[in-house]
Structure 1
Amino acid sequence: MKLVVILSRVPFPVEKGDKLRAYHQLRCLSENHELHLICLNDTPLHPDAVFELKKYCKTVNIFDLNPFGLFFNLVWAFITGRPIQIGYFHRFGVKKQIEELIEELEPDHLYCQLSRTAEYGCDIPISKTIDYQDVFSIGLKRRLNELPFWKRIFFRIEYERMAQYEETIYHLFDHHTIISKADRDLLPFYEKDAVVLIPNGVDFNFFVPDKEAAKRYDLVFTGNMAYPPNIMAVEYLVKKILPLVWEKRPSTNLLIAGTTPHSRVRILSESRILVTGWLKDIRPAYTASRIFIAPMQIGTGLQNKLLEAMAMQLPCITSILANESLQAKADIDVLVADTPLIYAQHIIFLLNNEEKAAKLAKNGYHFVKSNYDWEAATAILSHLIEE
């Protein structure tokens, strides 16, 4: 089949979750379909992006979002009752160009990733699929209590509009996908059971354990460090959990590795905490560490960082919230916690029991190997598209 894929970002480099999902889906879909990629773009383009994406796509079409039209589109979103983030990614001129391009390509199917791209595909008169990925509205709702009053008003309005928008676009697409059952259960409409589960995966040829690597850090956290759930997670780790660990084990150190660290993250750096910023290759952060920890407090969707760490055979500790999407067996594949004390106890236990830590790491590896494979997951998507 000839597929047009619309993305809200250029999926290279793959330093963010939506880019990672898009990149590997393109890679796998290209084996059986002719792909034509359309990307929105609001950042400087990586010099290798088009070359890398043309390995899988017959054409790569990038539409820059002119910042001069941003104010008008935000006003348009506000007046029409759409979420602000939909307005941020929408440009009337770009929509017209995309519609003309799709008419010229005459594809068999249209695949839109994230609700941000729905405005560009909803009027195209062909079979089409929307990938919710996770539930944006719930992500907004979970941030409400952590915000100052003036921001809370804005986020509540945005949450309510996003929930309505997620329901609206359901009726504009033929097929619908999402990463996990936990997220599907949170969708704000009755037809949610018709949304198909397409999990993420791990590139096991890339994320390979290195048993010989020197362990320089006790704990590691990875991710996009400008993303609010990640910012909150490392603040919780440093301010609530580590002081309890340091009471028993003062030398315990932490590596925070990931792109564009927010000022709230950079300020956490001290003698026992290293904040790296962007790493071209994230694997050395895993191999240099004894334990991966992801104490996620808010957010939705599957934590790719957990899949990567498990694939690298690190023992992992995470929150009950994050494990709802992961669906690992607590105390067998992963350790879970819901209070700083329990997190601290898990950390100390693993650091003091290498044999138990190795067993947990091995179980976690077999869990992701059995459940999170890009080829198997994308085969479900391919079958759905072909219906």
Structure 2
Amino acid sequence: MVHRTPYPPNRGHRIRSFHWLDYLAQRCDLDVAFLADEPLTGETEQALRVRCRNVIWSLILPWQRRIQAILSLSVGATATKGAFWSNKLARQIASLCRRNSYDAILVYCSSMVQYVPAGFRKDGVIVDLVDVDSQKWLDYSRTSSLPLKWLYRVEGVRLRHVERRLPTLASWITLATVPECDLYKSFCPNARTAVVENGVNIDYFSPSLNGEELSHHRLTFVGALDYSPNRTGVIWFINKVWPILVQRFSNLELYIVGAGADGKLKAAVTHVPRVFLTGDVPDVRPFLAGAVAIVPLQLARGVQNKVLEAMAMGCATIASSPALEGISAVPGRHVLKADTPEEWINAVAGVIKNPSLRKAIGHAARDYIVQHHTWPQKLKALDELLQL
């Protein structure tokens, strides 16, 4: 049971859920139920149907989510619960459970726990929290002003209560990184937890696509720009770091790749030299090929797929401390770490001026991903949890 359409695997929530689905479809009879923000394309439906015995889904438009979230919050529940509720999907899931005897139900994110049928045995339920969502909202509350500060705080506190109750509903709670698992155990010490890290499709994200050397230097950020931490991090970089870099390097360009840029981000790049906002693209790899990847997030939860994918491409990748949390790559060897404007300027200048360093970091990054972050390696943990 997935809170958003698990295909195509081109955004964080889709990447993990799709690769879980793909892995399990090769090992067992699998049904999938999910919520969709828009009608399914023929390609999406076909991709799911070749892997799953039954595919059931319900459409919830963004305006419906907002209304349901507000109503849920107003009656003392979480906004998350309301935003991901569908009577239609609940009926479909209940019908499937009456017709089939399931060995296990996998729940992707706490928002979908509400769909587990009453009476289904606890030892057959696994909840993949991925990250500790409550902490995300509590973090937002500390960096926001009223009234959002209050709303985020309320959501965080209420979600924390939901997360504490999960061990009474499920046999295992899985998370994407060791730090997220440690955080969850800090307030739910008796939970049975397991870390199932993210992988990368190393055949798709490959240095072989890098092609010839560019006649200019390019920095590339890839990420969904309707996600606040991505947008905030990019704007910070443009305001604090880019003005110095653009003065030092006349052939340096910055590409911001992703859908969902709002007016604030568009205004931030207006009249800024050599910054290109691409919008949504069918394939991010041409923008990463030959580039230095940057991930200047000031707030992040769990593992950042954008870091892993850039490393798999053999890019010299520069990332902030929050963006590297949960990834055991060694700064200075596999990646470069930067937090302050001065650190960012020095890191970018270092790889631009020193092509040998840039190549060495890129090669080490690729080797690290191949050794530690392929999907088959990471998803073997599911075999034990599900006794496959």
TM-score normalised by structure 1 residue count: 0.92
1:1-387 equivalences under 5 Å are 6-65=1-60, 71=67, 74-79=70-75, 81-121=76-116, 123-126=118-121, 127-187=124-184, 189-191=187-189, 194-209=192-207, 210-215=209-214, 217-269=217-269, 270-289=272-291, 291-386=292-387
Provide, for residues 326-383 of structure 1, a one-character-per-residue CA deviation record: whole Å limited to 9, x for no partner. 1211111111122111011000010000001110111111111111111121121132
In the TM superposition, residue 74 of structure 1 has moved relative to its aligned partner by 4.0
Question: Contact (CA 8 Å) 1:142, 1:299: kept in 2 or not?
Answer: no
Whether the aligned pair in 1 keeps the contact of 2:260 and 2:279 (CA below 8 Å) is yes
CA distance in 1, matches of 2:56, 2:99: 13
Name the stretch that deviates more: 169-178 or 266-275: 266-275
Larger deviation: 330-339 or 205-214?
205-214
1:117-165 Cα distance to aligned partner (Å, 9 max, x none): 1111263513110000011111112222332222111111111111111
- Secondary structure, counterpart of 2:50 in structure 1: coil
Structure 1 SS opposite 2:334: coil
Cα distance in 1 for residues equivalent to 2:362 and 2:231: 25
Cα deviation digits, residues 188-234 of structure 1 (max 9, x gap)? 62327731000111101111112424535520000111111100110
CA distance in 2, matches of 1:192, 1:279: 44
Query: In 2, are the aligned partners of 1:73 and 1:90 still within 8 Å (CA)?
Result: no
Deviations 1:155-192 (A, max 9, x none): 11111111111112232111110000011122262327
In the aligned structure 2, how far is the partner of 1:329 from the partner of 1:117? 35
Determine if contact 1:9/1:40 at 8 Å carries over to the other structure. yes
Q: Distance in 1 between matches of 2:312 and 2:72?
A: 45
1:47: Cα distance to partner?
2.8
Determine helix, strand or coil for the equivalent of 2:13: helix
Counterpart residue type for residue 275 of structure 2: I
Letter in 2 for 1:220: T
SS at match of 2:30: strand
Report the more deviating stretch, 354-363 or 256-265. Answer: 256-265
The answer to whether the Cα contact below 8 Å between 2:56 and 2:89 also exists between their aligned partners in 1 is no
- Residue range with higher mean Cα deviation, 172-181 or 160-169: 160-169
Q: CA deviation at 1:112?
A: 0.6
Task: State how far apart, in whole Å, the 2-side matches of 1:249 and 1:65 are.
Answer: 47
Distance 1:243 1:88, change over 3 A: same
- Between 1:343-352 and 1:260-269, the stretch displaced more is 260-269
Counterpart CA distance in 2 for 1:64 and 1:318 is 36
Contact 2:167-2:191 within 8 A present in 1 as well: no
Q: Which letter maps to 1:287?
A: A
Contact 2:200/2:309 (8 A) holds in 1 = yes
Instruction: Mark the CA change 1:353 to 1:193 in structure 2 (over 3 Å): closer, same or farther.
Output: farther
Q: Is the 8 A contact 1:265 1:275 kept in 2?
A: no
Deviation of residue 97 (structure 1)?
3.0
Output the amino acid matched with 2:289. Answer: T
Structure 1 position 104, deviation (Å): 1.3
Report the secondary structure of 1:212's partner residue: coil
Name the CA shift for 1:122/1:143 in 2 (closer, same or farther; >3 Å). Answer: farther
Question: 1:264-309 CA deviation, whole Å, 9 max, x = no partner?
Answer: 33333344111111111111111152x1010111120110011110
Q: Distance in 2 between matches of 1:250 and 1:186?
A: 45
Unaligned stretches of 5+ in structure 2?
A: none
Assess, with a 3 A threshold, how the Cα gap between structure 1 residues 45 and 337 changes in structure 2: closer, same or farther.
same
Quick check: 2:254–2:276 contact (8 Å CA) kept in 1? yes
- 2-structure distance, mates of 1:239, 1:69: 33
Q: Give the percent of matched residue pairs that are identical in Structure 1 and Structure 2.
A: 23
TM-score, normalization: structure 2? 0.92
**Structure 1 residue 16: Cα displacement:** 1.5
When the two chains are superposed, the root-mean-square deviation of aligned CA atoms in Å is 2.0
1 CA distance for matches of 2:187 and 2:167?
Answer: 9
Instruction: Give the whole-Å Cα distance in 1 for the aligned partners of 2:224 and 2:160.
Output: 25
Give, as a single letter, the amino acid of the residue that structure 1 aligns with 2:4.
Answer: R
Instruction: Tell me the distance in 1 between the aligned counterparts of 2:18 and 2:190.
Output: 26
Q: For 1:234, what is the secondary structure of its paired residue?
A: helix
